[in-house]
Amino acid sequence: MPSAERRLQPRRKPRQVRAELTRERILTAAAHVFAEYGYAAGTTNRIAERARVSIGSLYQYFPNKDAILAELAVRHIDRGMWTQADRLDLSPGSLEAMVRALVRDAVDNHRDDPQLLRIMMEAAPLSQELLDTIDRHGRKRVAQVRDLLARHPDVRVRDLGTAAELIVFTVETNTHKLMADPRAVPVEIFEGELVDMVTRYLRGDR
Amino acid sequence: MPSAERRLQPRRKPRQVRAELTRERILTAAAHVFAEYGYAAGTTNRIAERARVSIGSLYQYFPNKDAILAELAVRHIDRGMWTQADRLDLSPGSLEAMVRALVRDAVDNHRDDPQLLRIMMEAAPLSQELLDTIDRHGRKRVAQVRDLLARHPDVRVRDLGTAAELIVFTVETNTHKLMADPRAVPVEIFEGELVDMVTRYLRGDR
DNA sequence: CATTATTCTGAGCAATGACTCAGCTCTTCG
DNA sequence: CGAAGAGCTGAGTCATTGCTCAGAATAATG
């Protein structure tokens, strides 16, 4: 009975340890393959090959290619939120220190999977569901930073919401560029300049 | 698939007006199709269809799909450089005014093709040559801004090259986001904040 | 060990997409 | 006009990719 239901949910639930391992191997391989080839050229066959699993097995745990990316995205987001909340909330101090923590956080968060955001943007026009997931995450993060700014006495900007949005995006994309490119400018220096820029902005000097 | 050396140069040089028009139609169509479907799903057949030209004609002017994007990218960047040089060089004045001009410029420049950067990122892993082309032009732009900064007396940063790179990228990506999203924050406000951030950074206040 | 449930395999199918080519139409120019 | 070359056409080729399925291999159970 060929059912028409297609979602991002897994097709089969693993019941043996062996199966769980296979699932993980597939996800790990997918992360590498997507990072290397992009989404379109990161074929399911390549993923299966890298995971040393047959394509048949792959399709026992994921109903389609999108579902693999979706799972990757969700995991990435969850992990990011966790470490962020963990570190920033409990670090008072100078404004510059706070900003630096923010930047460091972005760096750490993308170190393990530096290409994921690019991949998700690539796949976005193909899957509205995926797009929504990403957007939801973004809003949460901005809100979190907004609260952080609200609590710091040295922050002097016109509107906290706008400021939060601006710096979250700026820090995120610059970090991405930093990690993706093997650049002439050393990482530490660029990071320092980024911190300076954001800090001066938030402090509102004239 | 990307094994042998592939060129981005046009295959045939148009000698009649008719041919030149065809070429333009193809490029315009490509811009729309890529923006709507992304690079991978933006097929050459779709482009030809939209341009109301046969695929055969398309391949008379472009040796392959990458070349179309490359041409689009080069034009985009060149146009940016031109208007930039035109407007900025002859506008002395406060640092803030200069930065504002820079931002306005980016906004104008992306109004007609807000998705191009995303598309280029998507296509990048597929073609090293394309990546190089973009990078080369990007460097030119950074160099231009660097010179601009060098000439302004109020600019006080550690390293002009790093600063130029940082602000070019920051202004560019923020503009992109601004234009792509229908956002809650109005354009003018966001623009103002962006100008403030960059200005304060360049002025180097403490 | 036999039986059943779970997991895994990979050749192959259907669809799609980049690109070609043989021949047509249109422009130019003597 | 008419020949030659520039420009255009689109059915078709070849390669690739997402995904299926019939059955083999492995593990759990009686």
Please tell me whether any atom of strand D lies within 7 Å of the Cβ of B51: no
Q: What is the 3-state secondary structure (H, E, C) of A140-198?
A: HHHHHHHHHHHHCCCCCCCCHHHHHHHHHHHHHHHHHHHHHCCCCCCHHHHHHHHHHHH
Residues B143-199 pLDDT 10s:
989 999 999 999 999 999 999 999 999 998 898 888 877 666 788 888 999 999 999
A205 touches chain B (CB under 8 A): yes
Give the model's pLDDT for residue B183: 66
Give the model's pLDDT for residue B121: 83
**Strand C neighbors by CB, 7 A:** A 12, 14-16, 18-19, 21-22, 52-57, 59-60; B 6, 16-18, 41-45, 55-56, 59, 64-65
Give the model's pLDDT for residue B182: 67
3-class state of residue B16 by DSSP:
coil
Lowest mean pLDDT among A74-78, B111-115, B155-159: B111-115
Nearest to B185 among A39, A121, A162 (CB): A162
Tell me what the mean pLDDT of segment B12-34 comes to. 90
CA atoms of A104 and B70, how far apart (whole Å):
35
Residues A4-49 pLDDT 10s:
334 566 666 777 888 999 999 999 999 999 999 999 999 999 999 9
Give the model's pLDDT for residue B14: 72
Contact B189, A160 (CB under 8 A): no
Which residue in this structure is represented by tokens 């002395």?
B92
| Comparison of pLDDT for B70 and B1, the residue scoring more | B70
DSSP string, A89-143: TT--S-HHHHHHHHHHHHHHHHHS-TTHHHHHHHHGGG-HHHHHHHHHHHHHHHH
Q: Which nucleotides of D are covered by protein (CB under 7 A)?
A: 6-12, 15-22, 26-28
CA atoms of B62 and B47, how far apart (whole Å):
12
| Comparison of pLDDT for B81 and B25, the residue scoring more | B25
How many other C-beta atoms can be found within 10 angstroms of the C-beta atom of residue A86?
Answer: 10
Contact B175, B110 (CB under 8 A): yes
Contact B68, B62 (CB under 8 A): yes
Give the model's pLDDT for residue B2: 35
Ordered by where they begin, the domains of chain A are: 10-63 (1.10.10.60), 65-203 (1.10.357.10)
Residues with Cβ within 8 Å of residue B191, at least 6 apart in sequence: B103, B104, B107, B178
Q: What percent of chain A has pLDDT over 70?
A: 83
Contact A38, B126 (CB under 8 A): yes
Residues A83-104 pLDDT 10s:
666 666 656 689 999 999 999 8
Q: How far is CA B76 from CA A94, A183, B114, in A?
A: 42, 23, 11
Tell me what the mean pLDDT of segment A126-143 comes to. 78
**Total residues found in chain B within this entry:** 206
Q: How far is CA B59 from CA B2, B12, B44, in A?
A: 18, 9, 9
| Comparison of pLDDT for A79 and A73, the residue scoring more | A73
Give the model's pLDDT for residue A139: 86
Contact B85, B143 (CB under 8 A): no
